[in-house]
Amino acid sequence: MSYVDEALERVIAQNPAQPEFHQAVKEVLESLRVVIEADEEKYRKEALLERLTTPERAILFRVPWVDDKGQVQVNNGYRVQFNSAIGPYKGGLRLHPSVNLSIIKFLGFEQVFKNSLTSLPIGGGKGGSDFDPKGKSDREIMAFCQSFMTELFKYVGADTDVPAGDIGVGAREIGYLYGQYKRITGLYEGVLTGKGLSYGGSLVRTQATGYGLVYLTSELLKCHGTSLEGKTVSVSGAGNVAIYAIEKAQQLGAKVVTCSDSTGWIYDPEGIDVGLLKDVKEVRRARLTEYKKRRPSAVYTEGRGVWSVKVDVALPCATQNELHLEDAKALVANGVYAVCEGANMPTTLEATQFLQENGVLFVPGKASNAGGVATSALEMSQNSERLSWSAEEVDAKLKDIMINIYHNIDNASKKYGMEGNYVAGANIAGFLKVVNAMEAQGIV
Ligand code: NDP
Protein backbone atom coordinates (compact mmCIF):
# COMPACT_ATOMS: atom_id res chain seq x y z
CA MET A 1 0.00 0.00 0.00
CA SER A 2 1.30 3.49 -0.74
CA TYR A 3 2.45 5.62 2.17
CA VAL A 4 -0.32 8.18 1.50
CA ASP A 5 -2.99 5.45 1.71
CA GLU A 6 -1.42 4.03 4.87
CA ALA A 7 -1.42 7.46 6.49
CA LEU A 8 -5.03 8.07 5.49
CA GLU A 9 -6.15 4.72 6.89
CA ARG A 10 -4.35 5.46 10.12
CA VAL A 11 -6.00 8.87 10.51
CA ILE A 12 -9.44 7.29 10.04
CA ALA A 13 -8.72 4.42 12.44
CA GLN A 14 -7.15 6.57 15.15
CA ASN A 15 -9.71 9.38 14.99
CA PRO A 16 -13.08 7.67 14.77
CA ALA A 17 -16.26 9.74 14.34
CA GLN A 18 -14.37 12.78 13.05
CA PRO A 19 -15.72 13.06 9.48
CA GLU A 20 -14.75 16.69 8.89
CA PHE A 21 -11.18 15.97 9.98
CA HIS A 22 -11.02 12.89 7.72
CA GLN A 23 -12.34 14.98 4.81
CA ALA A 24 -9.73 17.71 5.26
CA VAL A 25 -6.86 15.21 5.60
CA LYS A 26 -8.05 13.25 2.56
CA GLU A 27 -8.20 16.36 0.42
CA VAL A 28 -4.70 17.41 1.41
CA LEU A 29 -3.01 14.00 1.25
CA GLU A 30 -4.58 13.12 -2.10
CA SER A 31 -3.05 16.18 -3.68
CA LEU A 32 0.32 15.59 -2.00
CA ARG A 33 0.55 12.13 -3.52
CA VAL A 34 2.82 13.25 -6.33
CA VAL A 35 5.26 14.90 -3.91
CA ILE A 36 5.25 12.08 -1.36
CA GLU A 37 5.56 9.30 -3.91
CA ALA A 38 8.65 10.93 -5.38
CA ASP A 39 10.47 10.28 -2.08
CA GLU A 40 8.21 7.81 -0.34
CA GLU A 41 10.79 5.86 1.71
CA LYS A 42 12.32 8.97 3.22
CA TYR A 43 8.94 10.36 4.29
CA ARG A 44 7.81 6.98 5.63
CA LYS A 45 10.99 6.62 7.70
CA GLU A 46 10.50 10.09 9.15
CA ALA A 47 6.81 9.29 9.82
CA LEU A 48 6.27 12.67 8.26
CA LEU A 49 2.59 12.22 7.42
CA GLU A 50 1.79 10.80 10.87
CA ARG A 51 3.43 13.84 12.45
CA LEU A 52 1.72 16.21 10.05
CA THR A 53 -1.76 14.80 10.74
CA THR A 54 -1.41 14.54 14.53
CA PRO A 55 -1.84 17.80 16.43
CA GLU A 56 1.07 18.76 18.67
CA ARG A 57 -1.49 19.29 21.42
CA ALA A 58 -5.30 19.26 21.80
CA ILE A 59 -6.73 20.93 24.88
CA LEU A 60 -10.31 20.21 25.95
CA PHE A 61 -11.83 22.06 28.85
CA ARG A 62 -15.04 22.82 30.74
CA VAL A 63 -16.57 26.29 30.40
CA PRO A 64 -19.10 26.95 33.19
CA TRP A 65 -20.96 30.27 33.21
CA VAL A 66 -24.15 31.71 34.70
CA ASP A 67 -27.03 32.82 32.44
CA ASP A 68 -29.37 35.76 33.06
CA LYS A 69 -31.82 33.57 34.97
CA GLY A 70 -29.13 32.53 37.44
CA GLN A 71 -28.85 29.05 35.88
CA VAL A 72 -25.36 27.57 35.54
CA GLN A 73 -24.57 26.50 31.97
CA VAL A 74 -21.68 24.28 30.90
CA ASN A 75 -20.05 24.24 27.45
CA ASN A 76 -17.10 22.39 25.94
CA GLY A 77 -14.00 24.45 25.19
CA TYR A 78 -11.30 23.46 22.66
CA ARG A 79 -7.89 24.63 21.53
CA VAL A 80 -6.02 22.46 19.07
CA GLN A 81 -2.38 23.50 18.64
CA PHE A 82 -1.68 21.71 15.40
CA ASN A 83 1.75 22.63 14.14
CA SER A 84 4.33 25.21 15.26
CA ALA A 85 7.10 24.41 12.77
CA ILE A 86 7.08 27.85 11.16
CA GLY A 87 5.83 30.05 14.01
CA PRO A 88 3.54 30.37 17.04
CA TYR A 89 0.16 28.66 16.66
CA LYS A 90 -2.31 31.00 14.98
CA GLY A 91 -5.97 30.48 14.13
CA GLY A 92 -9.41 31.61 15.18
CA LEU A 93 -11.91 30.71 17.87
CA ARG A 94 -15.34 29.54 16.71
CA LEU A 95 -18.48 29.79 18.84
CA HIS A 96 -21.28 27.74 17.28
CA PRO A 97 -23.44 24.87 18.56
CA SER A 98 -22.02 22.57 15.86
CA VAL A 99 -18.46 22.87 17.23
CA ASN A 100 -16.82 19.57 18.22
CA LEU A 101 -13.32 18.10 18.18
CA SER A 102 -13.63 16.96 14.55
CA ILE A 103 -14.48 20.45 13.33
CA ILE A 104 -11.74 22.13 15.37
CA LYS A 105 -9.17 19.58 14.15
CA PHE A 106 -10.16 19.99 10.50
CA LEU A 107 -9.90 23.76 10.88
CA GLY A 108 -6.55 23.52 12.70
CA PHE A 109 -5.14 21.17 10.07
CA GLU A 110 -6.20 23.46 7.21
CA GLN A 111 -4.79 26.43 9.09
CA VAL A 112 -1.28 24.94 9.02
CA PHE A 113 -1.16 25.07 5.20
CA LYS A 114 -3.01 28.36 4.95
CA ASN A 115 -0.64 30.09 7.33
CA SER A 116 2.31 28.69 5.45
CA LEU A 117 0.92 30.13 2.19
CA THR A 118 0.81 33.65 3.63
CA SER A 119 4.65 33.53 3.72
CA LEU A 120 4.50 34.93 7.28
CA PRO A 121 5.97 33.15 10.35
CA ILE A 122 2.82 31.61 11.83
CA GLY A 123 2.01 28.01 12.75
CA GLY A 124 -1.49 26.52 12.74
CA GLY A 125 -4.10 26.12 15.47
CA LYS A 126 -7.81 26.54 16.03
CA GLY A 127 -10.23 26.62 18.95
CA GLY A 128 -13.73 27.36 20.06
CA SER A 129 -16.77 26.09 21.87
CA ASP A 130 -20.24 24.68 21.29
CA PHE A 131 -21.62 27.81 22.99
CA ASP A 132 -24.34 29.45 20.86
CA PRO A 133 -24.03 33.25 20.97
CA LYS A 134 -27.41 33.70 19.22
CA GLY A 135 -30.05 35.24 21.46
CA LYS A 136 -27.63 35.75 24.37
CA SER A 137 -27.46 39.06 26.21
CA ASP A 138 -24.23 41.07 26.29
CA ARG A 139 -23.74 40.07 29.90
CA GLU A 140 -24.09 36.38 29.04
CA ILE A 141 -21.56 36.73 26.20
CA MET A 142 -19.15 38.41 28.60
CA ALA A 143 -19.66 35.74 31.28
CA PHE A 144 -18.97 33.00 28.76
CA CYS A 145 -15.88 34.73 27.30
CA GLN A 146 -14.42 35.37 30.76
CA SER A 147 -14.90 31.76 31.79
CA PHE A 148 -13.46 30.51 28.48
CA MET A 149 -10.33 32.67 28.86
CA THR A 150 -9.91 31.70 32.52
CA GLU A 151 -8.96 28.25 31.23
CA LEU A 152 -7.44 29.20 27.86
CA PHE A 153 -4.94 31.74 29.23
CA LYS A 154 -2.68 28.91 30.46
CA TYR A 155 -1.99 27.81 26.90
CA VAL A 156 -1.78 31.05 24.86
CA GLY A 157 0.58 34.02 24.69
CA ALA A 158 2.00 36.52 22.20
CA ASP A 159 4.88 34.18 21.31
CA THR A 160 3.19 30.81 21.81
CA ASP A 161 -0.39 30.81 20.52
CA VAL A 162 -2.35 33.79 19.24
CA PRO A 163 -6.08 33.12 18.64
CA ALA A 164 -8.40 35.39 16.63
CA GLY A 165 -12.09 35.49 15.62
CA ASP A 166 -14.05 33.05 13.49
CA ILE A 167 -17.78 32.20 13.28
CA GLY A 168 -19.52 33.79 16.26
CA VAL A 169 -16.40 35.63 17.44
CA GLY A 170 -16.15 39.26 16.40
CA ALA A 171 -14.87 42.48 17.96
CA ARG A 172 -17.16 42.22 20.99
CA GLU A 173 -16.03 38.72 21.96
CA ILE A 174 -12.33 39.47 21.30
CA GLY A 175 -12.66 42.50 23.61
CA TYR A 176 -14.08 40.42 26.48
CA LEU A 177 -11.50 37.67 25.96
CA TYR A 178 -8.64 40.17 25.88
CA GLY A 179 -9.86 41.98 29.00
CA GLN A 180 -9.93 38.73 30.94
CA TYR A 181 -6.48 37.64 29.70
CA LYS A 182 -5.00 40.96 30.80
CA ARG A 183 -6.75 40.78 34.14
CA ILE A 184 -5.45 37.29 34.90
CA THR A 185 -1.90 37.62 33.58
CA GLY A 186 -1.25 41.33 34.02
CA LEU A 187 0.23 41.33 30.53
CA TYR A 188 -0.65 43.89 27.89
CA GLU A 189 0.52 41.88 24.92
CA GLY A 190 -0.68 40.81 21.49
CA VAL A 191 -2.19 37.53 22.63
CA LEU A 192 -5.25 37.88 20.40
CA THR A 193 -5.77 39.48 17.01
CA GLY A 194 -8.88 41.17 15.72
CA LYS A 195 -8.62 43.54 18.69
CA GLY A 196 -10.36 46.94 18.72
CA LEU A 197 -8.35 49.84 17.30
CA SER A 198 -8.12 51.55 20.69
CA TYR A 199 -6.25 48.63 22.28
CA GLY A 200 -3.81 47.24 19.74
CA GLY A 201 -5.98 46.19 16.79
CA SER A 202 -4.95 46.68 13.18
CA LEU A 203 -6.74 48.80 10.65
CA VAL A 204 -8.27 46.63 7.86
CA ARG A 205 -8.32 43.44 10.00
CA THR A 206 -12.14 43.50 10.00
CA GLN A 207 -12.26 43.71 6.23
CA ALA A 208 -9.22 41.54 5.55
CA THR A 209 -10.67 38.09 4.82
CA GLY A 210 -13.38 39.38 2.48
CA TYR A 211 -11.14 41.95 0.79
CA GLY A 212 -8.33 39.41 0.47
CA LEU A 213 -10.67 36.89 -1.13
CA VAL A 214 -11.64 39.43 -3.75
CA TYR A 215 -8.03 40.55 -4.34
CA LEU A 216 -7.08 36.95 -5.06
CA THR A 217 -10.17 36.38 -7.24
CA SER A 218 -9.36 39.50 -9.15
CA GLU A 219 -5.75 38.35 -9.80
CA LEU A 220 -7.04 34.94 -10.89
CA LEU A 221 -9.38 36.55 -13.41
CA LYS A 222 -6.69 38.96 -14.59
CA CYS A 223 -4.32 36.07 -15.29
CA HIS A 224 -7.10 34.45 -17.35
CA GLY A 225 -7.58 37.60 -19.41
CA THR A 226 -10.67 38.99 -17.73
CA SER A 227 -11.71 40.96 -14.62
CA LEU A 228 -14.46 41.40 -12.04
CA GLU A 229 -15.73 44.51 -13.80
CA GLY A 230 -19.30 43.88 -14.95
CA LYS A 231 -19.41 40.31 -13.59
CA THR A 232 -22.37 38.92 -11.65
CA VAL A 233 -21.35 37.35 -8.37
CA SER A 234 -23.11 35.22 -5.78
CA VAL A 235 -21.98 35.24 -2.16
CA SER A 236 -23.25 32.99 0.62
CA GLY A 237 -23.20 34.01 4.28
CA ALA A 238 -23.87 37.42 5.74
CA GLY A 239 -21.15 37.55 8.36
CA ASN A 240 -17.72 39.12 8.51
CA VAL A 241 -16.24 37.40 5.45
CA ALA A 242 -19.36 37.73 3.28
CA ILE A 243 -20.00 41.41 4.01
CA TYR A 244 -16.49 42.57 3.12
CA ALA A 245 -16.26 40.29 0.10
CA ILE A 246 -19.46 41.90 -1.18
CA GLU A 247 -18.13 45.38 -0.44
CA LYS A 248 -14.81 44.87 -2.27
CA ALA A 249 -16.37 43.02 -5.23
CA GLN A 250 -18.75 45.93 -5.72
CA GLN A 251 -15.90 48.44 -5.43
CA LEU A 252 -14.18 46.55 -8.27
CA GLY A 253 -17.25 46.84 -10.49
CA ALA A 254 -19.00 43.50 -9.93
CA LYS A 255 -22.69 43.11 -9.14
CA VAL A 256 -23.24 40.84 -6.12
CA VAL A 257 -26.79 39.51 -6.19
CA THR A 258 -27.03 37.09 -3.24
CA CYS A 259 -26.20 36.57 0.42
CA SER A 260 -27.52 34.11 3.01
CA ASP A 261 -27.65 33.15 6.66
CA SER A 262 -28.49 29.95 8.46
CA THR A 263 -32.23 30.42 7.94
CA GLY A 264 -32.53 31.63 4.34
CA TRP A 265 -31.11 33.62 1.45
CA ILE A 266 -31.56 36.87 -0.43
CA TYR A 267 -31.65 37.38 -4.17
CA ASP A 268 -31.33 41.05 -4.96
CA PRO A 269 -31.18 41.61 -8.75
CA GLU A 270 -30.25 45.26 -8.24
CA GLY A 271 -27.18 44.25 -6.25
CA ILE A 272 -26.87 43.76 -2.49
CA ASP A 273 -27.06 47.03 -0.55
CA VAL A 274 -23.99 46.45 1.60
CA GLY A 275 -24.71 49.43 3.88
CA LEU A 276 -28.12 47.99 4.69
CA LEU A 277 -26.66 44.50 5.14
CA LYS A 278 -24.11 45.85 7.65
CA ASP A 279 -26.86 47.60 9.56
CA VAL A 280 -28.96 44.41 9.70
CA LYS A 281 -26.11 42.05 10.62
CA GLU A 282 -23.41 44.10 12.36
CA VAL A 283 -25.56 46.63 14.21
CA ARG A 284 -28.96 45.00 14.80
CA ARG A 285 -27.74 41.38 14.72
CA ALA A 286 -31.05 40.59 12.97
CA ARG A 287 -32.13 37.97 10.38
CA LEU A 288 -32.09 38.55 6.62
CA THR A 289 -35.88 38.95 6.70
CA GLU A 290 -35.09 42.40 8.09
CA TYR A 291 -33.02 43.16 4.96
CA LYS A 292 -35.94 42.05 2.77
CA LYS A 293 -38.37 44.30 4.69
CA ARG A 294 -36.23 47.34 3.98
CA ARG A 295 -35.19 46.55 0.40
CA PRO A 296 -38.08 46.31 -2.10
CA SER A 297 -35.93 44.75 -4.86
CA ALA A 298 -34.90 41.79 -2.66
CA VAL A 299 -36.48 38.33 -2.71
CA TYR A 300 -36.09 36.28 0.48
CA THR A 301 -36.32 32.47 0.37
CA GLU A 302 -36.33 30.26 3.44
CA GLY A 303 -33.75 27.42 3.46
CA ARG A 304 -30.97 26.68 0.95
CA GLY A 305 -30.78 27.75 -2.70
CA VAL A 306 -28.18 30.47 -2.98
CA TRP A 307 -26.26 28.54 -5.68
CA SER A 308 -29.26 28.26 -8.03
CA VAL A 309 -28.78 31.80 -9.36
CA LYS A 310 -26.98 32.32 -12.69
CA VAL A 311 -23.65 34.03 -11.98
CA ASP A 312 -20.13 34.35 -13.37
CA VAL A 313 -18.33 34.02 -10.05
CA ALA A 314 -19.41 32.28 -6.82
CA LEU A 315 -17.87 33.09 -3.43
CA PRO A 316 -19.03 30.69 -0.67
CA CYS A 317 -18.46 32.61 2.59
CA ALA A 318 -20.71 30.93 5.21
CA THR A 319 -19.48 27.61 6.61
CA GLN A 320 -18.06 24.16 5.85
CA ASN A 321 -19.84 21.81 3.40
CA GLU A 322 -22.43 24.35 2.27
CA LEU A 323 -21.87 23.86 -1.48
CA HIS A 324 -22.93 20.32 -2.43
CA LEU A 325 -22.67 18.33 -5.64
CA GLU A 326 -26.15 19.41 -6.81
CA ASP A 327 -25.17 23.06 -6.17
CA ALA A 328 -22.00 22.58 -8.23
CA LYS A 329 -24.13 21.09 -11.04
CA ALA A 330 -26.49 24.07 -10.93
CA LEU A 331 -23.57 26.51 -11.03
CA VAL A 332 -21.98 24.70 -14.00
CA ALA A 333 -25.32 24.49 -15.84
CA ASN A 334 -25.60 28.26 -15.38
CA GLY A 335 -22.12 28.81 -16.83
CA VAL A 336 -20.16 29.79 -13.71
CA TYR A 337 -16.56 30.73 -14.53
CA ALA A 338 -14.84 30.76 -11.14
CA VAL A 339 -15.52 29.61 -7.57
CA CYS A 340 -13.26 30.97 -4.84
CA GLU A 341 -13.83 29.92 -1.25
CA GLY A 342 -14.18 32.60 1.45
CA ALA A 343 -15.23 30.11 4.13
CA ASN A 344 -13.17 27.12 5.25
CA MET A 345 -13.98 23.98 3.22
CA PRO A 346 -17.44 25.21 2.10
CA THR A 347 -17.32 22.97 -0.97
CA THR A 348 -17.69 19.22 -0.51
CA LEU A 349 -15.06 16.95 -2.09
CA GLU A 350 -17.54 15.72 -4.75
CA ALA A 351 -18.60 19.26 -5.60
CA THR A 352 -14.97 20.40 -5.88
CA GLN A 353 -14.16 17.54 -8.20
CA PHE A 354 -17.22 18.27 -10.36
CA LEU A 355 -16.30 21.95 -10.69
CA GLN A 356 -12.71 21.12 -11.61
CA GLU A 357 -13.75 18.46 -14.12
CA ASN A 358 -16.04 20.96 -15.78
CA GLY A 359 -13.32 23.55 -16.27
CA VAL A 360 -14.41 25.95 -13.54
CA LEU A 361 -11.52 27.87 -11.96
CA PHE A 362 -11.61 26.74 -8.33
CA VAL A 363 -9.51 28.20 -5.50
CA PRO A 364 -9.66 26.54 -2.06
CA GLY A 365 -10.17 28.57 1.10
CA LYS A 366 -6.74 27.85 2.47
CA ALA A 367 -5.42 30.10 -0.30
CA SER A 368 -8.28 32.47 -1.02
CA ASN A 369 -9.34 33.27 2.55
CA ALA A 370 -5.81 33.59 3.93
CA GLY A 371 -6.10 37.40 3.98
CA GLY A 372 -7.66 37.30 7.45
CA VAL A 373 -4.88 35.41 9.11
CA ALA A 374 -2.25 37.30 7.10
CA THR A 375 -3.57 40.59 8.45
CA SER A 376 -3.68 39.05 11.91
CA ALA A 377 0.03 38.37 11.51
CA LEU A 378 0.46 42.01 10.47
CA GLU A 379 -1.39 42.95 13.68
CA MET A 380 1.14 40.82 15.61
CA SER A 381 3.99 42.70 13.94
CA GLN A 382 2.46 46.06 14.86
CA ASN A 383 1.96 44.88 18.47
CA SER A 384 5.60 43.78 18.67
CA GLU A 385 6.80 47.13 17.36
CA ARG A 386 4.20 48.98 19.48
CA LEU A 387 3.22 50.93 16.38
CA SER A 388 0.11 51.20 14.22
CA TRP A 389 0.30 51.23 10.47
CA SER A 390 -2.07 53.26 8.27
CA ALA A 391 -5.04 51.61 6.55
CA GLU A 392 -3.36 52.18 3.18
CA GLU A 393 -0.19 50.45 4.35
CA VAL A 394 -2.02 47.40 5.70
CA ASP A 395 -4.31 47.18 2.68
CA ALA A 396 -1.35 47.38 0.29
CA LYS A 397 0.46 44.59 2.17
CA LEU A 398 -2.73 42.48 2.18
CA LYS A 399 -3.13 42.93 -1.56
CA ASP A 400 0.50 41.97 -2.20
CA ILE A 401 0.16 38.88 -0.01
CA MET A 402 -2.98 37.70 -1.86
CA ILE A 403 -1.41 38.27 -5.27
CA ASN A 404 1.68 36.34 -4.14
CA ILE A 405 -0.46 33.48 -2.84
CA TYR A 406 -2.18 33.18 -6.20
CA HIS A 407 1.14 33.03 -8.08
CA ASN A 408 2.63 30.67 -5.51
CA ILE A 409 -0.20 28.13 -5.90
CA ASP A 410 -0.33 28.61 -9.65
CA ASN A 411 3.41 27.97 -9.95
CA ALA A 412 3.22 24.89 -7.71
CA SER A 413 0.38 23.46 -9.81
CA LYS A 414 2.46 23.97 -12.96
CA LYS A 415 5.68 22.62 -11.45
CA TYR A 416 3.97 19.37 -10.44
CA GLY A 417 2.20 18.91 -13.78
CA MET A 418 -1.30 19.87 -12.62
CA GLU A 419 -1.67 23.31 -14.17
CA GLY A 420 -4.85 25.05 -13.03
CA ASN A 421 -5.45 22.64 -10.15
CA TYR A 422 -5.25 25.21 -7.38
CA VAL A 423 -6.27 22.69 -4.70
CA ALA A 424 -3.12 20.71 -5.42
CA GLY A 425 -1.09 23.89 -5.87
CA ALA A 426 -2.16 25.25 -2.47
CA ASN A 427 -1.61 21.99 -0.63
CA ILE A 428 1.80 21.40 -2.18
CA ALA A 429 3.08 24.95 -1.73
CA GLY A 430 1.84 25.07 1.87
CA PHE A 431 3.23 21.61 2.64
CA LEU A 432 6.75 22.14 1.26
CA LYS A 433 7.53 25.06 3.55
CA VAL A 434 6.16 23.39 6.68
CA VAL A 435 7.95 20.13 5.94
CA ASN A 436 11.21 21.87 5.30
CA ALA A 437 10.97 23.51 8.75
CA MET A 438 9.89 20.26 10.42
CA GLU A 439 12.80 18.33 8.96
CA ALA A 440 15.27 21.02 9.98
CA GLN A 441 14.01 20.91 13.57
CA GLY A 442 14.44 17.16 14.03
CA ILE A 443 12.03 14.66 15.54
CA VAL A 444 9.86 16.87 17.74
P1 NDP B 1 -19.66 34.98 10.95
O2 NDP B 1 -20.12 34.37 12.20
O3 NDP B 1 -19.38 36.45 10.93
O4 NDP B 1 -20.68 34.67 9.77
C5 NDP B 1 -21.01 33.37 9.38
C6 NDP B 1 -22.15 33.44 8.38
O7 NDP B 1 -22.43 32.15 7.90
C8 NDP B 1 -23.43 33.95 9.00
O9 NDP B 1 -24.16 34.64 8.02
C10 NDP B 1 -24.14 32.66 9.41
O11 NDP B 1 -25.54 32.78 9.50
C12 NDP B 1 -23.75 31.77 8.26
N13 NDP B 1 -23.77 30.37 8.72
C14 NDP B 1 -23.11 29.83 9.78
N15 NDP B 1 -23.37 28.53 9.91
C16 NDP B 1 -24.22 28.23 8.90
C17 NDP B 1 -24.85 27.05 8.48
N18 NDP B 1 -24.67 25.90 9.14
N19 NDP B 1 -25.64 27.12 7.37
C20 NDP B 1 -25.79 28.29 6.69
N21 NDP B 1 -25.23 29.44 7.06
C22 NDP B 1 -24.45 29.41 8.13
O23 NDP B 1 -18.35 34.16 10.51
P24 NDP B 1 -17.22 34.58 9.49
O25 NDP B 1 -17.79 35.40 8.40
O26 NDP B 1 -16.08 35.08 10.28
O27 NDP B 1 -16.77 33.15 8.95
C28 NDP B 1 -17.38 32.53 7.81
C29 NDP B 1 -16.47 31.45 7.27
O30 NDP B 1 -15.19 32.01 6.91
C31 NDP B 1 -16.13 30.31 8.25
O32 NDP B 1 -15.95 29.13 7.52
C33 NDP B 1 -14.80 30.76 8.82
O34 NDP B 1 -14.05 29.65 9.33
C35 NDP B 1 -14.15 31.34 7.58
N36 NDP B 1 -13.06 32.27 7.82
C37 NDP B 1 -13.22 33.38 8.58
C38 NDP B 1 -12.17 34.24 8.76
C39 NDP B 1 -12.33 35.53 9.49
O40 NDP B 1 -11.39 36.34 9.47
N41 NDP B 1 -13.47 35.83 10.09
C42 NDP B 1 -10.84 33.96 8.21
C43 NDP B 1 -10.80 32.81 7.33
C44 NDP B 1 -11.87 31.98 7.20
P45 NDP B 1 -26.23 33.10 10.92
O46 NDP B 1 -25.99 34.56 11.15
O47 NDP B 1 -27.65 32.74 10.71
O48 NDP B 1 -25.53 32.22 11.91
13 and 48 together in one domain: yes
306 and 222 together in one domain: yes
Q: Give pTM, 2 decimals.
A: 0.95
235 and 323 together in one domain: yes
State the total domains in the chain.
3
Q: What is the Cα–Cα distance from 381 to 375, expressed in whole angstroms?
A: 10
Residue 224 in domain:
yes
Q: Give me the helices (H) in 38-160, please.
A: 40-45, 48-53, 101-117, 138-152
CA angle 359, 360, 362 (to 5 degrees): 125
Percent of the chain with pLDDT over 70: 100
H or E element, residue 32: helix 19-37
261 and 289 together in one domain: yes
CB-ligand 1 contact for 323 (6 Å cutoff): no
The pLDDT value recorded for residue 356 is 98
What mean pLDDT value characterizes the chain? Answer: 97
- Alpha carbons within 13 A on the beta-carbon side of 42: 7
Reported as a single tens digit per residue, the pLDDT across 318-360 is 999 999 999 999 999 999 999 999 999 999 999 999 999 999 9
Q: Where are the beta strands (DSSP E) in 261-371?
A: 264-267, 299-302, 313-316, 338-340, 361-363
Q: Specify the CATH number for the domain of residue 121.
A: 3.40.50.10860
How many other C-beta atoms can be found within 10 angstroms of the C-beta atom of residue 267? Answer: 19
Do residues 190 and 384 touch, judged by C-beta distance below 8 A?
Answer: yes
- Choosing from 114, 126, 281, 292, the catalytic residue is 126
Of all protein residues, the one whose alpha carbon is nearest to atom 30 of ligand 1 is 343
215 and 173 together in one domain: no
Q: What is the Cα–Cα distance from 313 to 256, expressed in whole angstroms?
A: 9
The DSSP call for residue 70 is S
The Å distance, Cα 167 to ligand 1 centre, comes to 5
The pLDDT value recorded for residue 313 is 98
Both ends of the chain: CA-CA distance in Å?
Answer: 26
The pLDDT value recorded for residue 299 is 98
Reported as a single tens digit per residue, the pLDDT across 121-151 is 999 999 999 999 999 999 999 999 999 999 9
67 and 49 together in one domain: no
92 and 23 together in one domain: no
Reported as a single tens digit per residue, the pLDDT across 68-114 is 999 999 999 999 999 999 999 999 999 999 999 999 999 999 999 99
The Å distance, Cα 252 to ligand 1 centre, comes to 23
Range of the domain at 23: 3-53
334 and 279 together in one domain: yes
Q: Specify the CATH number for the domain of residue 226.
A: 3.40.50.720
**Which residues of the chain register pLDDT less than 50?**
none
The Å distance, Cα 318 to ligand 1 centre, comes to 4
